[in-house]
Amino acid sequence: MKVILKNQKLENIPCDVLIINLFENTKTLNGGTGAVDTALDGLIKKIIKEDGFKGKLGSTLAIRTNGEIPAKKVVIVGLGEKEKFDLSSVRKASAAGIRCAKKEKAKTVCSILHGAGAGKIDIKDAAQALTEVSQLALYNFDRFKSKDKKEPKKEIQTLIIAEADKDKLKDIEAGIKRGEIVARAQSLARDMVTESAITMTPTKIANIARKIAKENKLKIKVLDSEACRKLGMGAFLAVAQGSHEPPKFIEIKYTPKGKPKKHIAIVGKGITFDSGGLSLKPANSMETMKDDMSGSAAVIGTMSVIRELQPKVAITMIVATTENMPGGKAYRPGDVIQAMNGKTIEILNTDAEGRVTLADAISYVVKQKPDEIIDLATLTGACVVALGDTSNGVMTNDQKFADKIIKAGNEAGERMWQLPLYDEDRDKIKSDIADMINTGSKGKSGAQNGAVFIEKFVSDIPWVHIDIAGPSWIDKENEYGPKGPTGVGVRTLINYLTNYV
Ligand code: BES
Ligand code: ZN
Ligand code: ZN
């Protein structure tokens, strides 16, 4: 879908569906909605009344215009209560509008900029949100469907944003561009997770990373298991032992023009399938375990657009990707293994594999002394129990840093909720025979057990761990897209890397 800006009045634009909006319980129609109503001789006011349309956030009403204006139909979207209106309302309204236009079989849609007239919201943010959400809400993965089962290609091809005021065009254009970039990055992450483990192997992830690096002129290194062994990555390789798929350790580097303000490491968990290993998962817990590489999809998705975004920081992306399988050579409960930084780990549960792979991924990048480390990982079921699929778990060794990530995530519509790490939690991963165990207190604070383990490898570098296990997969569609893999993390990373440093 193309998004274009037209320096024209809303009511004069030819299209299949024209999207306008309405705050809850408003009596007078003003702004763009008012202008369209006037052009239609008060038709909108009349129908709103007749149909009892209240303007609840995300509700929609479609009306035929019978040739009174160049738009064939008008869709009214509810914006909810004016006092509660914020960027998240803009997103919900945008998604509802575009979905309704799709239902009306529109090919060309023109939309009002939700929130642009409300005063509180920056026009650039409004344009970004509308563009981003419209693309993401219509996301559809049908690569594996037979031809006759694919959705007919009647998709919306053009979204026109109309703005009569010349002074605002530049900002809106910038918002559209950014929204388009973010949606593209997140869609790539979704594609990667949705594809499934039979083809989305560590080798394939490495090939995608290579392609992205080439297209973006970024430095890339892909280490095979032999190279990892030489570096002493006993932890990552232990997890990989149970699978026939060769593991890959991927490093991509971005350096900005001029002196970088900081060097930030972004690390993504990349388990292409998590069977649990010998500590085998029950069948139903395995159903969604192709999504255990969502962290890697998020960091790779982010790197895929980094040249276009041009952040002023140096970035090192690390993905240590492997499958976690119970093959004959699989690592076992009781095994003691050694990570690249020399620390030893007593494995008590082979299903707590993510942290074990991250131990080497982080040990590797710590040697480069980055200023900050962010890891994204579908790390624990406990985090899903605690926070569901509506927010990500944030854990940290540096509160100021975490505050910024939490703000960046919440702003971008990826909710972040912090869980505490106390010294008592740190004690829970002590081992009798090694430096640590890979589990923790049984049945208690599972998300934090994972975090305090990873913390052992970050040295004294400011670090934020984002457990995305919940939001990486949704069971019901939301404003950002259909059920299934979400590509969560991309929006937080992009917002943080470009606006917070
Ligand atoms: N990949 C899982 C965590 C997960 C669970 C992600 C549900 C998404 C949805 C992780 O590797 C895992 O299995 N963790 C264990 C750790 C436990 C054995 C200490 C868990 O959370 O049960
Ligand atoms: Zn696991
Ligand atoms: Zn896992």
Distance 271 CA to ligand 2 centre (A): 9
Q: Is the CB of 446 under 6 A from ligand 1?
A: yes
- Which residues are registered as beta bridge partners of 77? 21, 60
d(CA 78, CA 71): 19
Using DSSP bridges, classify how beta strands 436-437 and 344-346 pair: parallel, antiparallel or unpaired: parallel
Q: List Cβ neighbours of 173 (8 Å cut-off, separation of 6 or more).
A: 5, 127
Give the CA distances from residue 349 to residues 74, 86, 329, 440, 443, in Å, rounded to whole numbers and listed in that order.
57, 44, 16, 10, 13
pTM (two decimals): 0.97
Question: In the annotation, is 262 catalytic?
Answer: no
pLDDT at 117: 77
pLDDT at 198: 98
Q: Is the CB of 439 under 6 A from ligand 1?
A: yes
Domains of the chain, CATH where assigned: 2-145+152-165 (3.40.220.10), 182-499 (3.40.630.10)
pLDDT at 289: 98
Q: Is the CB of 381 under 6 A from ligand 1?
A: yes
Question: In the annotation, is 281 catalytic?
Answer: yes
Task: Output 34-37 pairs: Cβ under 8 A, ≥24 positions apart.
Answer: 35/9, 35/10, 35/11, 36/10, 36/11, 36/69, 36/74
Q: Hey, how many other C-beta atoms are within 10 angstroms of the C-beta on 4?
A: 12
Place of tokens 């990707």: 321
Q: Hey, how many other C-beta atoms are within 10 angstroms of the C-beta on 72?
A: 17
Query: Hey, which of 379, 389, 438, 449 would you mutate to test ligand 1's pocket, going by the most ligand atoms within 8 Å of its Cβ?
Result: 379
Query: Hey, which of 273, 322, 351 would you mutate to test ligand 1's pocket, going by the most ligand atoms within 8 Å of its Cβ?
Result: 351
Q: Is the CB of 200 under 6 A from ligand 1?
A: no
d(CA 362, CA 265): 9
pLDDT at 114: 94
Distance 134 CA to ligand 3 centre (A): 31
pLDDT at 147: 84
Torsions phi, psi for 260 (to 5 deg):
-65, 140
Per-residue pLDDT of the chain (501 residues; tens, 9 = 90+): 999 999 999 999 999 999 999 999 888 898 999 999 999 999 999 999 999 999 999 999 999 999 999 999 999 999 999 999 999 999 999 999 999 999 999 999 999 999 887 778 999 999 999 999 999 999 999 999 998 887 766 689 999 999 989 999 999 999 999 999 999 999 999 999 999 999 999 999 999 999 999 999 999 999 999 999 999 999 999 999 999 999 999 999 999 999 999 999 999 999 999 999 999 999 999 999 999 999 999 999 999 999 999 999 999 999 999 999 999 999 999 999 999 999 999 999 999 999 999 999 999 999 999 999 999 999 999 999 999 999 999 999 999 999 999 999 999 999 999 999 999 999 999 999 999 999 999 999 999 999 999 999 999 999 999 999 999 999 999 999 999 999 999 999 999 999 999
pLDDT at 27: 83
Q: Is the CB of 294 under 6 A from ligand 1?
A: no
Distance 469 CA to ligand 1 centre (A): 8
